[in-house]
Structure 1
Amino acid sequence: MKADEMDWNRTLREQWEFHWNHQIRARLEGLTDDEYVWSPVPDAWSVRPRSTSTAPVQAGAGDFTIDFAFPQPDPEPFTTIAWRLGHVIVGVLAARNAAHFGAPAASYESWEYAGDAATALDQLETQLDVWLAGVRSLGDAGLRVPVGEKEPYPEAPMADLVLHIHRELIHHLSEVCLLRDLYLHTHHATNGATR
């Protein structure tokens, strides 16, 4: 098959779908509420009940907020699974789904963060479904259209944004899997837990 005959839209979607279906989805099954908020270090950023954080910024519209600071500290704080999922759900997916695919407006400040693992995973699946349907709707021609003023590089084609979002998903969700491994191996010695 020649490059000009390839279905680039399908190829870009499959980049993420393969990773999700064969490496990430199963690794997220059974995520507990303990793992969701667990931190191996003190003062990690997380998602917390409203008014319980000491972070300079506590963003969110519901009963739970996500920790932030502007400008970000150097070094940046360690982040829990809850924080990483919140970042992926809102900053990586929901804000882009709103900006490019007609989904409801979403921002760190307006989001209702999940206080438990099951709700966070449901939010993740929902935003992933919206993202993939939106990418599919672009076809090949839509991948060449500039992303516009809603992104930091407005002249970049949508294909660049799709690749960026997929890198972010692979990166951050792999971190979540690593934290699950660390949790399992540090807690196994004290309570005999297995996964």
Structure 2
Amino acid sequence: MTDQTWNALLRDQLAWHWTTQLRERIDGLTDDEYFWEPAPGCWSVRPRGSGAAPVQAGCGTMTIDFAMPQPDPPPFTTIAWRLGHVIVGVLAVRNAAHFGRAPTDYQSFEYATTAAAALAQLDAEYATWLAGVESLGEAGLARSCGEAEGPYAGRPLAALVLHINRELIHHLAEVCLLRDLYQHTHEETRREAN
């Protein structure tokens, strides 16, 4: 039996997926893939003023589409939207609440104008999250989440770490699948580029 701590195991779970299954698969993401709308009425990240969603949030030249409450069924979302959700809603908001990042939310975030910029934002937030989890040690994982996590305030931070691991693995796998779909439905464009 190895001398692993729960903190290391939780970090390793995410880091393994990030390194072996997720990050390399989205490396080199193009702007065409990033903004591609595979179905009518997609939610995406768009130039300010060009969206049709009830809410278009963001502080820069780009906004992210959403609505509260969410429509039933919810609109299909682009790679840009899914990355925006992961970068802001999954990581940046939690990094701000727990690990000293400047406060942010969907409304105040400056969304990337390119796929490369979005991947840089993703890498930065992921690195902050992973370092933050490591800084918790074993005792920090048992500490309660606090007010930032609303109805889950009394749950241990370990539960939040598990939730974030699931969210990252789930949503980034969706991004990989959408990228595969784009590449298989745009085969001729890919051949022309080579």
Q: TM-score range by the shorter chain?
A: over 0.9
How far is the alpha carbon of 1:98 from its aligned partner?
Answer: 0.3
Q: 2: CA distance between counterparts of 1:81 and 1:6?
A: 36
Q: Which residue of 2 aligns with 1:42?
A: 40
After superposition, what is the alpha-carbon deviation per residue over 1:150-178, rounded to whole angstroms, capped at 9, x for unaligned?
10311110000000001000000000000
Under a length normalisation based on structure 2, what TM-score does the superposition of the two structures give? Answer: 0.96
| Code of the aligned partner of 1:40 | P
Matched, 1:161 2:160: yes
Shift, 1:194, TM fit:
7.9
- Give the whole-Å Cα distance in 2 for the aligned partners of 1:194 and 1:180: 16
Q: Quote the Cα distance in structure 2 between the aligned partners of 1:140 and 1:154.
A: 19
What letter matches 1:129 in structure 2?
A: A
User: How far has the Cα of 1:30 moved from its partner?
Assistant: 1.1
Match of 1:65, SS state, is strand
Provide the residue aligned with 1:100 in structure 2.
98
- Describe the superposition over 1:72-126 as per-residue Cα deviations: whole angstroms up to 9, x where unpaired: 0000100000000000000000000000011100100000000110000000000
Q: Flag structure 2 segments of 5+ consecutive residues without an equivalent.
A: none
Q: Following the alignment from structure 1 to structure 2, what is the Cα–Cα distance between the partners of residues 140 and 193?
A: 53
Cα distance in 2 for partners of 1:166, 1:58 equals 27
Pick from 113, 117, 135 the counterpart of residue 111 of structure 2: 113
Structure 1 residue 192: deviation in Å? 2.7
> Equivalents in 2 of 1:168, 1:159: separation in Å?
14
Q: Which residue type is aligned with residue 32 of structure 2?
A: D
What amino acid is aligned across from residue 177 of structure 1 in structure 2?
Answer: C
3-state SS of the aligned residue for 2:13? helix
* Equivalences, count: 193
Helix, strand or coil at the partner of 1:150 = helix
Structure 1: gaps spanning 5 or more residues: none
Question: What is the identity percentage for the equivalent residue pairs of Structure 1 and Structure 2?
Answer: 64
1:184 aligns with 2:183: yes
Q: Tell me the distance in 2 between the aligned counterparts of 1:134 and 1:6.
A: 18
Structure 1 match to 2:87: 89
**Residue identity matched to 2:24:** A
**Runs of 4+, deviation exceeding 6 Å:** none
Give the 5 Å matches for 1:1-195.
Answer: 1=1, 6-151=4-149, 152-189=151-188, 192=191
Partner AA of 1:186 in structure 2? T
| Root-mean-square deviation (Å) | 1.4
CA distance in 2, matches of 1:19, 1:194: 30
**2: CA distance between counterparts of 1:96 and 1:47?**
21
Amino acid at match of 1:41: A
